[in-house]
Structure 1
Amino acid sequence: MTSSGTRISGLGVYHPGNLVKNDELAVLAGLDPDWIRNGTGIESRYHAGPADDIVAMAIAAGGQALAAAKVAPDEVDLVILTTSSRRQLMPAAAPQIATGLGIPAAGAFDLGAVCAGFTYALSMASNAVAVGQARNVLITSSERLSDLIGPEIREPFVIFGDGAGAAVVSASDEWGIGPVSWGSDGSRAAAIVTEAQDGNIDRITMQGQAVYRWATGKMPAAAKRACELAGVGLDEIAWFVPHQANLRIVDALARQLGFAEDRVARDVIDTGNTSSATIPLALHRLYENPAVQSGDLALLIGYGAGLSHAAQVVRL
């Protein structure tokens, strides 16, 4: 069994065609658009259309990531899907994604760590490549949260959006994905849940203030621990890419960790909270930033329902 460095070798994204701005949601929910903007920092989000199911969006993002990585489908040995919004529990969707991309006979499974799903999957993919169990691993994070929200529950209705992000993890001569810092607190499981409402329709319900206090109270230590495990100081981190829960939490964490605003991913403004897809979507946008230099270090941290979190340092 061998051991090597790993890196993110390619990224892909998929945004549904329906861009929904605050004005539209405000009418449906009986709200002032400024209340949405001031309370969440979000100005728009995407909602999926009939053809935009979890598998189709993951295939679109995954194909883009493979092309960016210059990795052929037959060079992928493992496919991981992270999602919190697929309503069909069985069978798992990852095998369908692999088949849809022409990946032959790869291992494939779904991972349900909700908003921390991508960072959990990134650790598992990196470990699989590092010990030689896979040449390349495709992670797809695909969410259709619009199925789980409605104007009758205002906070989730204005926060969540749809979309997919993907990443290819490959071997590298140097480390490009640091060790994971992760944890959970099941005593707070009721903070974010899906519950059947009138008419037996599943809806996301949230204890927003409780989530805010937990995230801003606990995540800075988890982020610092990820830096320690990677052997780098916070002052060496060029970019901060937290889960895009809402802009208030993103900016609060950035202040606590000492990151300037122009060094923080704030993708949530335009895409809303897409649960496990937020980090790969934000990373893809970050790569388009001309200020990013090859070799820059980025600190990722996913956190949310469960409650669960995971963080690691990656080299861009």
Structure 2
Amino acid sequence: MTARPVMNLAPGAPAARILGFGSHQPDRIVTNDDLSQLMDTSDQWIRDRVGIIERRFGEKEDVLVDYAVAAGTNALADAGVDASEVDTVIVPNCTMPSPIPNAAAQVAARIGVPNPGAFDLNAACAGFCYGLGVASDLVRAGSAKKVLVIGAEKLTDVVDPTDRANAIIFADGAGAALVGASDEPGIGPVAWGSAGELVDLIYMRDHRWIYQEGQSVFRWATTQIAPIALQALEAAGLQPSDVDVLAPHQANLRIVESIAKKLRAKGAREDMVVADDIKYSGNTSSASIPMALDHMRKAGTAKSGDVVLAVGFGAGLSYAAQAFVLP
């Protein structure tokens, strides 16, 4: 009897890290006062409920792929890496107009990445953390050397402009991170999961408009997400006091502040910097975490070497968290 052949495995890297960040937003700024001209709302009402002051809306002719290309290009420039060195592109998103073709292959071609593995990933607002976890594991397994993860959304395409509760929240943009090999861990294990029994809390109404049960989502996020963030720290062998920057999904400023308060009650430092990009960018779903971090690095509120705790959560309901070091 002939012995069964033994297959080879690709040599993996000891660890993975983020090499660079980039982001992109459309030019059009929409203030709360602008929205009050279109619906029954006011600047104070919006600030009190979600913390948003302004957000960015794309033009009708814009497409999600445009934002992803710009953010991905900026991440490569930040890392000092040529597009030819990238071998995998992942585009977390939930607003592609059609599931076929995917965004990732188009984005890769336009950036100049030659023949990469390319796929989209839909975990809604948890998408970036899911994508970062996959990218890190691909590098450590030897399946990829450099992975470009780009959370990109054009949420204005799927928001009913007459739905006051949701139209004030969502916005457009993209955020990207380039992941590569490292001798020491720069990205911790992902802590992820889902609560499929709550799927009806966020869904596409009439298969066209994004809709969420705001109060129910708020209660779930403010009670269930901080423990997931703590699980990610434990998996990475870190303590809450080790966190320099907390970067939750920018869903609602009150949710962000609640998560930070719960983490500080568990030992996080008072000087831990908390991302609040929602104030000026709105909720950009899978783009919100990398976009917030890119903005914080440019503003100097987050710096190279900082330990970040990121946690995403959204439709599904899906959630994911991990710790990583800023490049």
TM-score (norm: length of structure 2): 0.92
Pairing of 1:107-146 with structure 2 (within 5 A)? 107-146=117-156
Deviation at 1:261, TM superposition (A): 7.4
Query: Who is 1:227 aligned against?
Result: 233
Segments of 4+ moved more than 6 angstroms? none
Query: Who is 1:186 aligned against?
Result: 196
Tell whether the 8 Å contact from 1:254 to 1:261 is kept in structure 2 after alignment. no
Matched, 1:148 2:158: yes
| Cα distance in 1 for residues equivalent to 2:177 and 2:13 | 21
Tell whether the 8 Å contact from 2:57 to 2:171 is kept in structure 1 after alignment. yes
Query: Who is 1:218 aligned against?
Result: 224
Deviation at 1:3, TM superposition (A): 3.1
Deviation at 1:222, TM superposition (A): 0.5
Tell whether the 8 Å contact from 1:20 to 1:46 is kept in structure 2 after alignment. yes
| Cα distance in 1 for residues equivalent to 2:272 and 2:37 | 33
Residues 291 and 271 (structure 1), Cα distance of their counterparts in 2 relative to 1, 3 Å cut: closer
Query: Who is 1:202 aligned against?
Result: 208
Deviation at 1:155, TM superposition (A): 1.3
TM-score (norm: length of structure 1): 0.96
SS across alignment from 1:125: helix
Pairing of 1:1-316 with structure 2 (within 5 A)? 1-196=11-206, 202-258=208-264, 260=270, 263-316=273-326
Deviation at 1:7, TM superposition (A): 0.9
Alignment coverage as a number of residue pairs = 312
Residues 261 and 205 (structure 1), Cα distance of their counterparts in 2 relative to 1, 3 Å cut: farther
Deviation at 1:238, TM superposition (A): 0.9
Deviation at 1:153, TM superposition (A): 1.2
Deviation at 1:202, TM superposition (A): 1.3
Percent identity of paired positions between Structure 1 and Structure 2: 44
Deviation at 1:309, TM superposition (A): 0.3
Q: What letter corresponds to residue 218 of structure 2 in structure 1? A: Y
Residues 261 and 15 (structure 1), Cα distance of their counterparts in 2 relative to 1, 3 Å cut: farther
Which stretch of the first structure deviates more once superposed, 201-210 or 226-235? 201-210
Structure 1 runs not aligned, ≥5 long: none
Q: Cα RMSD between the aligned structures?
A: 1.3
| Cα distance in 2 for residues equivalent to 1:61 and 1:307 | 26
Residues 235 and 19 (structure 1), Cα distance of their counterparts in 2 relative to 1, 3 Å cut: same
Tell whether the 8 Å contact from 2:243 to 2:307 is kept in structure 1 after alignment. yes
